[in-house]
């Protein structure tokens, strides 16, 4: 009787182990690659956010109403070099400043 219990127990362990291996190996194609998710959910900062971060890094940021559109264009050119901003970043900041004054 003890031999039958041992055979049944070993058989059950083999079946459970086999089921776990099969279920884990067949699910690997169901997951999305992390690189794909990063591209899909990339969040870009607004001009207002970039303005606050870039300008307040070195000095108090002036109010957008302090200058007119022409002044902001000139200031943007100067501060792009000083703050090491990309063309895309300075364009967003400039658009925000012009829309807010």
Q: Does the pLDDT value for residue 37 go beyond 60?
A: no
Query: Does the pLDDT value for residue 14 go beyond 60?
Result: yes
First to last CA, the chain: 91
> In angstroms, rounded to a whole number, what is the distance separating the alpha carbons of residues 37 and 79?
34
Q: Is the pLDDT of residue 38 over 80?
A: no
Q: Is the pTM of this model over 0.75?
A: no
HSE, side-chain direction, 13 A CA sphere, residue 60: 3
Query: Tokens 């990309």 appear where?
Result: 86
Specify the pLDDT at position 70: 95
The string of pLDDT tens digits covering residues 39-57 is 666 688 999 999 999 999 9
Average pLDDT taken over every residue of the chain? 83
């Amino acid at each position: 009787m003890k031999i039958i219990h041992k055979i049944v127990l070993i058989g059950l362990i083999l079946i459970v182990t086999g089921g776990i291996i099969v279920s884990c190996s067949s699910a690997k194609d169901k997951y999305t690659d992390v690189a794909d998710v990063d591209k899909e959910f990339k969040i870009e900062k607004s001009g207002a956010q970039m303005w606050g971060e870039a300008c307040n890094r070195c000095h108090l940021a002036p109010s957008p109403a302090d200058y007119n559109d022409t002044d902001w264009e000139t200031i943007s050119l100067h501060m792009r070099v000083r703050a090491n901003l990309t063309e895309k970043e300075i364009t967003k900041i400039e658009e925000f400043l012009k829309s807010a004054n």
